[in-house]
Amino acid sequence: MAPAAPAAATHTMNKLLLHPAAKPLLFALALLPFAQLLWGAVANTLGANPAEALIRGTGDWVLRFLCITLAVTPLREAFGLTGLARLRRMLGNFAFFYGVLHFLCYAWLDMGLDLTGIVADIPKRPFILVGTLALLLMAPLAATSFNRAIQALGAARWKRLHQAVYAIGLLGLLHFFWMRAGKNDFGEWTIYAVVMAVLLGWRVRQALRRRAASRPPGARATS
Ligand code: HEM
């Protein structure tokens, strides 16, 4: 009798997630940080250093969308929220969208769109190099995020390619760590690190469980 309430809640959640309005609503919500930063820039309410606020604000949202995207599968499997799956690609694409904005803010506001300066700056500052690597790895995932690409690549190859999201998350975390290390300020970084560790740890646990389950019973008993 006890599981009836959670089952009803899961059913209601899935109904909401599968509602035709769920995707447009999420799209509008995901654009809110962009609108807020744009409005702040236009109204000049971003504080004493608007360029820094824009670079940092967009950087924060890349990392947040990466965490949210990585959380989809654990939430789906742990709580039976199957309706979440259809929103994952959009969330990943928003991580890339904020990544491109973040890079453009840096290229424009930090480097004055000086292409030679940017090319020289990237390898000079390790945290920028790591961020660039993460963004470059995100590009093929965004480029293959539509149904025709899945068909062209085949589901298995597409899935393997999209596993790069874990490396991207870790590179993003390293980028943030390196940036904050110069200021000896790790408070916010630790929160992201814990979230990523939980999400990636969950994945590792699932993979180990699947591997153990696929072993023949005799092999399981003797190992
Ligand atoms: C997946 C890719 C990336 C992620 C997740 C990311 C994330 C972040 C985060 C979280 C911050 C700190 C925000 C804060 O202090 O609140 C940041 C700062 C910054 N990032 Fe990125 N970033 C990425 C790629 C890049 C790239 C490609 C560049 C430039 C080529 C870049 C340049 C910078 C700069 C210049 C700062 C500000 C440093 C400062 O104010 O001292 N990032 N990034």
pLDDT bucket at 3, cuts 50 / 70 / 90: low
Span from the CA of 223 to the centroid of ligand 1 (angstroms): 45
Does this model's pTM top 0.75?
yes
Give me the chain's average pLDDT, please: 94
Question: Looking at ligand 1, which atom is closest to the CA of residue 63?
Answer: 5
**Ligand 1 pocket check for 110: Cβ under 6 Å:** yes
Span from the CA of 15 to the centroid of ligand 1 (angstroms): 37
Ligand 1, pocket-test mutation among 179, 185, 192, most atoms within 8 A of CB: 179
Ligand 1, pocket-test mutation among 105, 108, 176, 184, most atoms within 8 A of CB: 176
Strands (E), 116-192: none
pLDDT 10s digits, 14-70: 999 999 999 999 999 999 999 999 999 999 999 999 999 999 999 999 999 999 999
pLDDT bucket at 2, cuts 50 / 70 / 90: very low
**Ligand 1 pocket check for 165: Cβ under 6 Å:** no
End-to-end CA separation in angstroms for the chain: 39
189 CB-near residues (< 8 Å, 6+ apart): 173, 176, 177, 180
Span from the CA of 126 to the centroid of ligand 1 (angstroms): 12
Q: In the chain, what are the domain boundaries?
A: 9-214
Write down the residue that tokens 């009803």 correspond to.
Answer: 8
**Ligand 1 pocket check for 59: Cβ under 6 Å:** yes
Span from the CA of 186 to the centroid of ligand 1 (angstroms): 15
CA separation for the pair 115, 90 (Å, rounded): 30
**Ligand 1 pocket check for 56: Cβ under 6 Å:** yes
Kindly list the distances between the CA atom of residue 62 and the CA atoms of 77, 138, 168, 213, in Å, as whole numbers in the listed order. Answer: 24, 11, 11, 36
In this prediction, residue 217 carries a pLDDT of 75
Contact 173, 194 (CB under 8 A): no
Instruction: Average the pLDDT over 188-216 and give the result.
Output: 93
Question: Looking at ligand 1, which atom is closest to the CA of residue 60?
Answer: 10
Span from the CA of 91 to the centroid of ligand 1 (angstroms): 19
In this prediction, residue 214 carries a pLDDT of 86
Sign of CA dihedral 142, 120, 131, 61: negative
Contact 54, 109 (CB under 8 A): yes
Instruction: Average the pLDDT over 93-105 and give the result.
Output: 98
Of all protein residues, whose CA lies closest to atom 23 belonging to ligand 1? Answer: 131
Write down the residue that tokens 């000896």 correspond to.
Answer: 184
CA separation for the pair 201, 112 (Å, rounded): 41
